[in-house]
Amino acid sequence: MKKRTIVLASILKPIDDTRMFEKFGISLSDSGDYNVLIIGYPATVKPAYPNVEFITSQPFARLSIGRWIAPLKVFLKLRKVKHDILIVNTHELLLVGMLNRIFFGVKIIYDIQENYYRNILHTDAFPSFIRSVLALWVRTKEKLTAPFFHWFLLAEKGYEKEFSFTGKRFTIIENKPRVSTHLIHVKRLEITQLLFSGTLAESTGVFQAINLVKNLHEFDNTIRLHIIGYAAKKSTYLRIQDEISSYSFITLTGGNHLVPHQEIMEAISKADFGIIIYPPSTHTQNSMPTKLYEYVASKLPILLQDHKPWVEFCKPFHAAIVLAGTSSIELLSKMKTEAFYTK
């Protein structure tokens, strides 16, 4: 039987994105039923996998004309590719998906990885004076194009409460990882290596993590912090640099460029504690951070903010110390004496 071709397309996600390539692309390829084509932003190193092809976009700045015309370029690329199914994972490609169904009869799926409406409205990703307009435009696109989409994939269980336009046409596929045994965390004795990984932004708590580690280091000079990930905003990257420049016990990998997911997983395996400390916000209240799954799957103990769904998720494994009214001395004591992953 002839294999069908599935295209996974993104604007900002790199072609080696952990969900688009590692989870979906590899799984679909391994099924033996599909040829897979991934369209996305250039990766640090171009991946290779049987029956998976890649098309990279031209690099562009986050806020630029290049980003606005990127959907048109994706549409033109899709015209040259005979495909049966198109999975888009960003609101910027909703119209592209709709046009592919209308003109070419392609089955289209919207993989909803984020609540873009809330992200735009409640973070500093865009200038404040245009956030409301952009957020409303995104939600309007989602509602108007929804009838054209055959199915929706939700990256969070909580998204059932946040989206009405999907109706009953959805499947939840969470961002749970597959971790190689050689990447399982092993406790070291000489220093205590803390880790902050993933998206580097004020909204993800990178500055709270830096302040937490500075306070801990005052009482224990073996404390170290490794920050690894990408800051989409240049101002955030520069602020991180400024915050850590005088502190030799804090190091940064990435910041102004994308970091391969495998490198992040390696960093998790070498850490002693992971930090998850998001500032409270409407846009994350129903979300489960991908790194929460990654840390637990790697058996990495977590310093975790007191957010009930995340605390309840960690409780059965005794995976975390909850940062609720705990002094630096008390926290250090718990880090040294508590047993983690006892189940």
Mean per-residue pLDDT over the chain, rounded: 90
| pLDDT-derived band at 186, boundaries 50, 70, 90 | low
The pLDDT value recorded for residue 208 is: 96
Report the chain's terminal Cα–Cα distance, integer Å.
46
- The DSSP bridge partners found for residue 21 are none
pLDDT (0 to 100) of residue 112: 96
Rounded Cα distance, 24 and 191, in Å: 37
pLDDT range class, residue 158, cuts 50, 70, 90? confident
Kindly tell me if the per-residue pLDDT of 47 is higher than 90.
no
Residue 322: C-alpha distances to residues 165, 201, 264, 277 (Å): 36, 22, 23, 10
Rounded Cα distance, 181 and 166, in Å: 38
pLDDT of residue 187: 62
User: Could you read off the pLDDT of 134-157 as tens digits, one per residue?
Assistant: 999 999 999 999 999 999 999 999
Over 70: is that where the pLDDT of 1 sits? no
pLDDT band at 189; cut points 50, 70, 90: low
Give the model confidence (pLDDT) of 231-249 as tens digits: 988 999 999 999 999 999 9
Per-residue confidence (pLDDT) for residue 99, from 0 to 100: 95
Predicted pLDDT of residue 62: 65
Among residues of the chain, what percentage have pLDDT more than 70? 95
Statement: residue 81 has pLDDT above 80: yes
**pLDDT tier, 130 (very low <50, low <70, confident <90, very high otherwise):** confident
- The residues near 250 (Cβ < 8 Å, ≥ 6 apart) are 210, 213, 214, 224, 225, 227, 244
- Quote the pLDDT of residue 113: 93
Burial letters 291-316, b for 16+ CB under 10 A, else e? bbbbbbbbbbbbbbbebeebeebbee
Confidence category of residue 182, pLDDT binned at 50, 70, 90: low
Q: What is the mean pLDDT of residues 58-77?
A: 80
User: Which amino acid type is present at position 294?
Assistant: E
- pLDDT of 323 strictly over 90: yes
Q: How confident is the model at residue 300 (pLDDT cuts 50, 70, 90)?
A: very high
Helix, coil or strand: residue 202 = helix
pLDDT tens-place string over residues 5-38: 999 999 988 999 989 998 999 999 999 999 999 9
pLDDT reading at 188 higher than 70: no
Question: How does residue 122 score in pLDDT terms, banded at 50, 70 and 90?
Answer: confident
Output helix, strand, coil percentages for the chain, rounded to the nearest 5.
45, 20, 35
Q: What is the pLDDT of residues 95-121, one digit of tens each?
A: 999 999 999 999 999 999 989 888 888
- The pLDDT of residue 78 is 92
Residue 183 has pLDDT above 70, yes or no: no
Reported as a single tens digit per residue, the pLDDT across 61-70 is 666 687 788 8
Q: Identify which of 66-70, 171-175, 282-286 has the greatest average pLDDT.
A: 171-175
